[in-house]
Amino acid sequence: MYCFLMSPWAGIDIGGQESVYNLLEKLKGDGNLTILFVTHELSVVYRLADRVLCLNKRMLCTDAPREMLTPEAISNL
């Protein structure tokens, strides 16, 4: 099963955003679900993602967030 989210909190306050993050963590923990999540918020990426795909007109990196989101890679993005 797949789930695609892109900016799900446009216009949502901080409490609402936290509710979305908590729901995503629950769905992730429940098992057989792949979530494709588009965001610029690195804190969310570090918190929720097992793998990242960094794009800027071409693929720049793909792997675990802590391994791929180095200062150099972020600078290249």
Q: What is the pLDDT of residues 9-61, one digit of tens each?
A: 677 888 888 888 888 888 887 777 788 888 888 888 888 888 888 877 777 77
User: Which pLDDT does position 1 carry in this prediction?
Assistant: 53
In a domain, 50, yes or no: no
In a domain, 49, yes or no: no
In a domain, 68, yes or no: no
In a domain, 73, yes or no: no
User: Which pLDDT does position 6 carry in this prediction?
Assistant: 59
> Confidence class of residue 70 from pLDDT cuts 50, 70 and 90?
confident
User: Which pLDDT does position 74 carry in this prediction?
Assistant: 77
- Residue numbers of the domain that contains 24: 1-38
State the residue for tokens 């570090």. 46
In a domain, 67, yes or no: no
In a domain, 31, yes or no: yes
Say how many C-beta atoms besides its own lie within 10 A of residue 65's C-beta. Answer: 17
In a domain, 43, yes or no: no
Q: Note whether 46 and 66 are within 8 A (CB).
A: yes
Beta-sheet pairing, 59-63 with 52-55: antiparallel
Residue 3 has pLDDT above 70, yes or no: no
Into how many domains does the chain fold?
1
Distance (Å, rounded) from C-alpha 17 to C-alpha 32? Answer: 23
pTM beyond 0.85, yes or no: no
In a domain, 22, yes or no: yes
